Amino acid sequence: MLRTISIGSSILIQGMFVKKLANGLMRVAVDGQTFDGRPVTPRRT
């Protein structure tokens, strides 16, 4: 499943979901690298 995470205030990373971490962060994989960040929730209009 493709997910988007936020790292810092202006960097967004979109990749394949790896796992949800105990501290509320999410891990995604992109081109063999893994990144941890805050999940981005979709905006509902």
11-36: pLDDT as tens digits: 999 999 999 999 999 999 999 999 99
Query: What confidence score (pLDDT) does residue 23 get?
Result: 96
Query: What confidence score (pLDDT) does residue 31 get?
Result: 96
Query: What confidence score (pLDDT) does residue 7 get?
Result: 95
Inform me whether the pLDDT recorded for 45 exceeds 80. no
Q: Is residue 12 part of a domain?
A: yes
Q: Is the dihedral of CA 1, 28, 24, 45 positive or negative?
A: negative
| Number of domains observed in the structure of the chain | 1
Query: What confidence score (pLDDT) does residue 13 get?
Result: 97
Q: Is residue 8 part of a domain?
A: yes
Whether the Cβ atoms of residue 21 and residue 35 lie closer than 8 Å to each other: no
Q: Which of 8, 43, 37, 11 is nearest to 29 (CA)?
A: 37
Q: Is residue 45 part of a domain?
A: no
Q: Is residue 44 part of a domain?
A: no
